[in-house]
Amino acid sequence: MIMQKLELTHPEIKIQNIVCTADLKQKIDIESFNEYEFLSSNLKLYHCGYVKDNSMKGKVSVFKSGKMISIGTKNPDDAKKELRKVSRILQKHKFSKPVKIYPQVRNIVAGFNLNRKLPIEKLARTFPRCMYEPDQFPALIYRIQNSCTSLIFSSGKGIIVGAKSLEEINFAFFEIKSRI
């Protein structure tokens, strides 16, 4: 079976952040992270440790429970690779035993720019499942049928959040453009 790499289908969309998680299924001694290169923790401020080496695009938070969160990458494959890399780094420094992890994309945040002004008040009357309260927030909040939500500003710029795949981002953007 040939796997086709899924990509964004609209040049107006730019991925801003990928949130991806994995579980080492074991306790991790994050108190000792500061003794190793590329590992850090400040337990007075945060209840986790961090791993980021010079080749990583994002950063991975590691919790005592063994749960990990990758943030800051702009590609789901990069997020998953970084979680696997952190698992190997923790094994190398004897923080964890070898374990197969199963990274899961939890949220993709994408920005878009339609390069034109939008009549937000008019759109608020025509979009289904939307909310617009300019006294509270300057964007139209549009709840798309899948897990995505979009913030659409009168400047023509917007954000899509809640997607778990690039396919969902593409679908959400198509929904937005077809209604404008």
**Which residues touch 97 (CB under 8 Å, ≥6 apart)?**
26, 91
C-alpha distances (whole Å) from 116 to each of 12, 14, 41, 65, 73 are 12, 17, 44, 47, 28
Q: Is 44 exposed, middle or buried (0-12, 13-18, 19+ CB in 10 A)?
A: exposed
Q: CA 114 to CA 169: how far, in whole Å?
A: 15
| Complete DSSP assignment for 147-162 | S-EEEE-TTSEEEEEE
For the segment 149-158, the average pLDDT, to the nearest whole number, is: 98
C-alpha distances (whole Å) from 80 to each of 46, 56, 77, 93 are 23, 11, 5, 20
pTM of the model: 0.89
Is residue 177 helix, strand or coil? helix
Give pLDDT tens digits for 38-49.
999 999 999 999
Q: Which of 14, 79, 22, 127 is nearest to 152 (CA)?
A: 127
Give all domains of the chain, ordered by start, each with its CATH number.
19-105 (3.30.310.10), 114-179 (3.30.310.10)
Q: Can you say whether residue 73 is alpha, beta or left, with left for phi > 0 and alpha for psi between -120 and 50 degrees?
A: beta
For the chain, what is the mean pLDDT?
93
Q: What is the pLDDT of residue 12?
A: 85
Q: What is the pLDDT of residue 6?
A: 52
Give pLDDT tens digits for 1-35.
333 445 677 788 999 999 999 999 999 999 999 99
State phi, psi for 45 to the nearest 5 degrees.
Answer: -100, -40
Give pLDDT tens digits for 103-142.
999 999 999 999 999 999 999 999 999 999 999 999 999 9
